[in-house]
């Protein structure tokens, strides 16, 4: 049975961030993830993890100026030093919290950026980041994000991500497979799972359409979880969805799985 991780950036938003760890644990989650932890001291996050016996499964490298619309730095030529500094900050948090998976968002290149320059910057940044993280046993992840939800994002398709992973050739560079984005951009994730299996590093789920609770809609999640079991997936499944209302009111889908964690 997959091990589920509550995404504390999207779930339990009724509560202040540092209170969401207790809420997730009380609802039966044994792991959590988040987008960006940097607004809180690493020690405070580590304390909440220990207090509630939780694993931090994943978080993202710093994305640049999120408020201004930036969505990562890895594919932005001229921002290499800032990206490298972000790797160092993320590594500090990862070591403090025991997190062993970090996602490097590619970013939204400027309209005048040359395609060959953005790709060269992206591959170089991934190589250097993977090499920096490898001695610490940390996996670097990349994720294809659909162009409807994030227009202009550098990496949209699963096959692109697989090709870039192969080109970089780092053993600790793997795919963050988001079933929601896959369904929007590439079709049924159940068909893609066997194709991405050898490079798979993390999975995230949400319902389609709407990116709400993972039930009904266009993805057969019970079948997908059974497929993960058949493939032997031992990692976490991040619940990166936006609740339709109160988080706990929307956890009916979770009841079938929580006692099996």
92 is catalytic: no
**What gap in Å lies between CA 254 and CA 99, rounded to an integer?**
24
Q: Which of 252, 239, 248 is nearest to 7 (CA)?
A: 239
Q: Write down the catalytic residue from 14, 92, 143, 215.
A: 143
14 is catalytic: no
Q: Kindly list the distances between the CA atom of residue 148 and the CA atoms of 35, 143, 152, 184, 185, in Å, as whole numbers in the listed order.
A: 19, 15, 9, 8, 9
CB atoms within 10 A of CB 221: 21
**What gap in Å lies between CA 231 and CA 210, rounded to an integer?**
28
**What gap in Å lies between CA 175 and CA 160, rounded to an integer?**
11
Q: Which of 140, 117, 121 is nearest to 80 (CA)?
A: 121
Under 8 Å between Cβ of 6 and 29: yes
Query: Would you please indicate which residues are annotated as catalytic (active-site) residues?
Result: 143, 240
């Amino acid at each position: 049975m997959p091990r589920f991780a509550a995404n504390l950036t999207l779930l339990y938003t009724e509560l202040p961030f540092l209170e969401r760890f207790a809420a997730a644990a009380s609802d039966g989650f044994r792991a959590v993830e988040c987008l960006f932890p940097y607004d809180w001291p690493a020690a405070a996050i580590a304390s909440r993890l220990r207090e509630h016996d939780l694993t931090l499964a994943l978080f993202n490298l710093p994305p640049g100026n999120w408020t201004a619309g930036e969505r990562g730095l890895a594919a932005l030529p001229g921002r290499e030093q800032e990206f490298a500094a972000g790797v160092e900050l993320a590594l500090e948090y990862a070591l403090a919290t025991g997190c062993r998976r970090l996602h490097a968002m590619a970013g939204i290149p400027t309209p005048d950026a040359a395609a060959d320059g953005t790709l060269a910057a992206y591959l170089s940044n991934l190589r250097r980041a993977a090499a920096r993280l490898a001695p610490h046993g940390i996996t670097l992840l990349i994720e294809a994000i659909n162009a409807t939800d994030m227009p202009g994002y550098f990496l949209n398709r699963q096959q692109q991500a697989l090709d870039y992973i192969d080109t970089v050739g780092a053993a600790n560079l793997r795919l963050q497979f988001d079933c929601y984005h896959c369904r929007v951009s590439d079709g049924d994730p159940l068909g893609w799972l066997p194709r991405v299996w050898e490079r798979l590093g993390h999975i995230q789920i949400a319902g389609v359409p709407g990116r709400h609770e993972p039930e009904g809609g266009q993805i057969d999640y019970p079948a997908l979880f059974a497929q993960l079991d058949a493939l032997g997936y031992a990692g976490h499944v991040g619940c990166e969805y936006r609740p339709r209302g109160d988080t706990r009111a929307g956890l009916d889908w979770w009841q079938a799985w929580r006692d099996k964690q």
